[in-house]
A and B are shown apart, each in its own frame.
Chain A
Amino acid sequence: MKTFTIGGIHPPESKLTASKAIEKMPVPSEIVVSMSQHLGKPAKPLVKVGEEVKKGQRIGEADGFISAHVHAGTSGKVKSVKSVPHPGGNYSLSVTITTDGEDAWAEGLNTAPIDWKGLSKESIIERIKDAGIVGMGGAGFPSSVKLSPPPDKTIDTIILNGAECEPFLTADHRVMVESAEEVIKGLEIITSLFQGKAKPFIGIEANKPDAIAAMKKAAKGTGIEIVTLETKYPQGAEKQLINAITGRTIEEGQLPFDKGCLVHNIGTAVAIYDAVSCNRPLVERVLTVSGMEISSARNIRAVIGTRFSDIAAFSGGISEKTNQVITGGPMMGRSQFTLEVPITKTTSGILFINNAGLESSRERTCIRCGKCIDACPQGLEPWLLGNEAQFRRLDEAELYGLANCTECGSCTFVCPSKRELVHWIKYAKALVNNRKQRKTA
């Protein structure tokens, strides 16, 4: 079984919803479509208050090269265009739509599948861009940009990330089981962009045998290799996944295409198929609703812009003990301050939990046990980076490989002194960024 070479941890898997089929959530009475659902500049809103919109209609225009279009998730009337809470932890400009219940598609969208093999490379990328597709695993990097690497980089390996190593999350897992054909077709579209010079892989952690079986069956005769990966966090982190499957190491400052690799998420592949073959923009996604404090944990397909409060209600409500709501997985997710936030293109899950350690936790001094060093998949010295960050010694922190941290949180998971190592590291990174911006300004 393949795995990455250094570090890694084994948090409790907690995959409560692994065997629950994806349920379609009805469109709520109101949706909130954020203009910042991707890495890069927010989209510019194209609609005004009171305007009627159709499902799939572009309501936000990509602003610049690294940005993405945003579409209305259903038909209705624009209620407001203003800054509202965003699951990223801040506020962002968003279009709130009062839905009309008809869920009517805009003209020319959601057509019968066409044979994409007749399309040129440029028109495929154009369709992906028009559909507003971004990496749905969490980072939200615009896919059309990712699929157009600089001409001097040769891509020989394309990897679909089916590791889903975060505890609780089962969205990619269920998509692989239920929509194996679409995943394969999406990957075939991606591979076709590289003129058959790239070998396609799908990496899946061993704790999803049904997904592995389904994908193997669907991949028969396509040349796609299904790779079973050891169940170990962070197997699904881009750098670790590349290392596990190809043995290559992405050095500090390098991007995957520097080592001939391109990694896409399972959900992204399906979205690419939908966009290229059926002209369907990215307006809904599959996500896991889980945690110990939700009445009925499940996998749902919901319209992007659906509020957390609506999803909680759809899932039977939450218990009084809930004290944290997390977007994404428990290792790298973010805790929310309100349930009014909407899901975005990158929301892979929502967890409703009672974090008992919250009250008692106090950072203690490092006892030099070295567990963080053993856990770090990037071969760093997290205890030291934490110290340097706490004392604002940014130059030192950079010399010890600050930029090489992928923020997976393994160090913080294992620390017996409960130090907030990854938080301190993120803090130092933010300070370094600020400093750079000041220098260039």
Chain B
Amino acid sequence: MEPVKLKVSYAPFVRSKDSIESVMYNVALALFPATAMSVYYFGIPALLVTITAIASSVGFEWLTDKIRKKPDSCLDGSAVVTGLLLALNVPSSLPLWMVVVGSFVAIVVTKHLFGGLGFNIFNPALVARVFLLISFPVAMTSWAVPFAVDMQTAASPLGILKTDGMAALSNFSYMDALLGKTGGSLGETSVLALLFGAAWLFYKRYITISIPLSFIASTLAFTGIFYLIDPTTYASPLFHFLTGGLVLGAFFMATDMVTSPLSLRGQLLFGIGCGLLTAVIRLWGGYPEGVSFAILIMNSLVPLLDKWDLDEIKAKKQKSLTTA
């Protein structure tokens, strides 16, 4: 028999088809309905913001890899997802150069300075959003009106609530909020489109239910308590669910694998913490919206939450060693 050239490698010799690419591009795919809805409502500017954010993120990823002398990772999909999430977190009227600044903060500062994919402590797109919000507060809070012909802007429902109180919300439509016909960031608007995408990720098992569920439930519970106490000052939990970035944040940002805890207990605590902080900021904070800050603050606790689990494993083992 002809000798064949055999290669020796490690078991197992079958591997699942999952890869970093399949995870990332499925997240991008899941965000497609929300992106499409925002382009439908806000028109060409929204499309330009999206394209700029993705292209500049991928560009910065490529550049940083070159400088860091790392294997090319610009097409692994993670930069695409970061760019897309950044776009969904800014208003469609944001000047494009600011979008590029956002991509720089996300990819270079938040991700690569911490060691690249898998090592960043904070969600890159959220750090970029907060950076832009603090640096360019006016541009970041001028929300385009859906189907606007000229660059007409309006405040978001949460913004109106913060500045003018409950009375100003008399003509707020829950249906419009569900479909996304309100002022807001690209991806903050259509809750329905976001849930549709999230369902896909659950089906593909790329996200677990624990974080979004505990996040949203604790936001609803906390805002609900105050709504029951005084419905004339505090908005209903349903209002808080449908407005702002809660759904986007809970399903697509807080569930980021790199920056969320590994164990179920950690994930539940993480979600509850996110929910409480969101509610506190929304009800009493200086900013109308608290999802980004809440997730970032909880991101910083993730190493601690993980360490708690691991220390328990170690302690159990050490105990069994001393008793043995």
Does residue A370 face the partner (Cβ distance < 8 Å to B)? yes
| Inter-chain CB contacts under 8 Å: number | 144
Which residues of chain A have C-beta atoms less than 8 A from B10's C-beta? 412, 420, 422-423
Chain B contact residues: helix, strand, loop or mixed: loop
Q: How far is the CB of B16 from chain A (nearest CB, A)?
A: 5
- A358 and B317 in contact (CB under 8 A), knowing A333-B13, A384-B310? no
- Chain B contributes a number of interface residues (CB within 8 A of A) equal to 40
In contact, B310 and A413 (Cβ under 8 angstroms): no
User: Given A317-B1, A368-B257, does the pair A324, B6 have CB atoms closer than 8 Å?
Assistant: yes
> A368-B257, A369-B23, A370-B257 in contact; A381/B310 too (CB < 8 A)?
yes
Q: Is the CB of A413 within 8 A of B12?
A: yes
B56 vs chain A, min Cβ distance (A): 22
Q: How far is the CA of A160 from the CA of B313 in the complex (A)?
A: 33
Give which listed residue, B4, B14, B257, B263, contacts A320 with CB less than 8 A: B4
A324 with B7: CB separation less than 8 A = yes
Q: Which of the residues A332, A339, A355, A368 comes within 8 Å of B258, measured between beta carbons?
A: A368
Report yes or no: B1 in contact with A414, Cβ–Cβ below 8 A. Answer: no
Other-chain residue from A318, A323, A365 in contact with B118 (beta carbon distance below 8 A):
A365
State in angstroms the CA–CA spacing of A313 and B4 once bound together: 13
Tally of chain A residues near chain B (CB < 8 A): 61
Q: Does A429 contact B (CB under 8 A)?
A: no
Expressed in whole angstroms, the Cα–Cα distance for A417 and B24 within the complex equals 12
User: How long is the Cα–Cα vector from A312 to B4 in the complex, in angstroms?
Assistant: 12
Cα distance, A332 to B206, chains bound together (Å): 26
Whether the Cβ atoms of A409 and B12 lie closer than 8 Å is yes
Asked if A309 is an interface residue, CB under 8 A from chain B, the answer is: yes
A88 within 8 A of B: no
Report A314-356 CB contacts with B as 1/0, cut-off 8 Å.
Answer: 0001101011111000111111111100000000000101010
Would you list 10 pairs from A and B whose C-beta atoms are within 8 A, ordered by A residue?
Answer: A317-B1, A320-B4, A367-B258, A368-B257, A371-B18, A400-B317, A415-B16, A416-B18, A416-B20, A418-B15
A interface residue numbers (CB < 8 A to B): 9, 11-12, 14, 89, 167, 252, 309, 312-313, 317-318, 320, 322-326, 330-339, 351, 353, 355, 357-358, 361-362, 364-371, 373, 381, 384, 398-401, 409, 412-418, 420, 422-423
Q: Assuming A331-B11, A335-B7, A355-B9, what are 18 further A-B pairs, CB within 8 angstroms? A: A320-B4, A331-B13, A332-B12, A335-B11, A339-B1, A339-B6, A353-B13, A355-B7, A364-B76, A365-B118, A399-B317, A400-B317, A409-B11, A412-B11, A415-B15, A418-B15, A418-B19, A423-B10
